[in-house]
A and B are shown apart, each in its own frame.
Chain A
């Protein structure tokens, strides 16, 4: 039974952190190149514009949910299952989500990279 809860938590972590990453990436693309903005208008303009983007707050909330799901998952499953499983599957989920929702050009190169990194993260944790 604990295993089901652990995998439920892993699913929740993947869902929440992918949602968070996509929302944050979307927000920052709306804000535009932060370096340029900083040079032209100063750091306060950057902070103000980021905070004024509504999807940024939503992204932070999703990241918060992901963090608490991780704590929840760690209370049900082993550290050596929950952390690598959620971290590596998040890389793959992000590649799918970035293509679907952010319309990023995820070519063969980036697919291979996502799978290599996901595999690598699992091996590092074994």
Chain B
């Protein structure tokens, strides 16, 4: 695990959280959208909050796919849950929202879970990994030969 890889994992947390928050903020501006005014749903992309939110969620998806290309699913998934913690902490320290003891306990459990996984190995050595390296080598050699 290099520093760049940790940055990608941090990107998963930050982009998904920021993206979801901006989408929620934008949809609140637009009011309730039902299937009856479908054009409203399409036009919601024009809202700057919604548009930025979608861009951030695309960034999240790129980071997520990148992480899955070099780490196990069971290693990457806990990182996605850190967003809940991030939202709660921002709400507490920036907007001075009260956090109940149950939520603090939840924050502690999630942080402990992420920590448990993060100190372990990031990828299972073996067939899957070997496969991907072979596939990579094959494509490169094909390119060189052609």
Beta-carbon contacts of A8-46 to B below 8 Å, as 1s and 0s? Answer: 000000000000011011001111111111001000000
Chain B residues whose CB sits within 8 angstroms of the CB of A113 once the complex forms: 74, 78, 113-114, 116-117
10 closest residue pairs by CB, A with B? A123-B106, A120-B109, A116-B113, A120-B110, A117-B113, A124-B106, A28-B68, A28-B69, A32-B136, A25-B73
- For B76, give the chain A residue with the smallest CB separation: A25
CA distance A112 to B120 in the complex (A): 12
A106-121: CB near B (< 8 Å → 1, else 0) gives 1101101111110111
Which B residues are CB-close (under 8 A) to A109?
116-117, 120
Known: A102-B72, A123-B102. 4 other contacts (CB 8 A): A35-B70, A113-B78, A117-B113, A126-B103
Cβ proximity bits A79-102 to B, threshold 8 Å, 1 near / 0 not: 000000000000100110011001
CB distance from A29 to the nearest CB of B (A): 5
**Chain A interface main SS type:** helix
Stretch in B9-17, B21-29, B124-132 touching the partner:
B124-132
Known: A22-B73, A29-B69, A123-B106. A110 touches B120 (CB 8 A): yes
Residues of A within 8 A of B (CB): 21-22, 24-25, 28-37, 40, 49-50, 91, 94-95, 98-99, 102-107, 109-110, 112-117, 119-126
In the complex, how many residue pairs between chain A and chain B have their CB atoms under 8 Å apart? 145
**Which residue from B73, B88, B131, B136 sits with its C-beta under 8 Å from A104?**
B73
**Measured CA separation A95–B81 after assembly (Å):** 14
**B129 proximity list for chain A (CB < 8 A):** 29
Residues A124 and B77 in contact in the complex (CB < 8 Å), given A25-B68, A35-B66, A103-B127: no
Within 8 Å of chain A (Cβ to Cβ): is B133? Answer: yes
Count chain B CB atoms within 10 A of each CB in A98, A99, A113 and give the residue with the most. Answer: A113
Taking CB atoms and an 8 Å cut-off, the chain B residues in 1-43 that contact chain A are 4-5
Across-interface contacts of A24 in B (CB, < 8 A): 64-65, 68
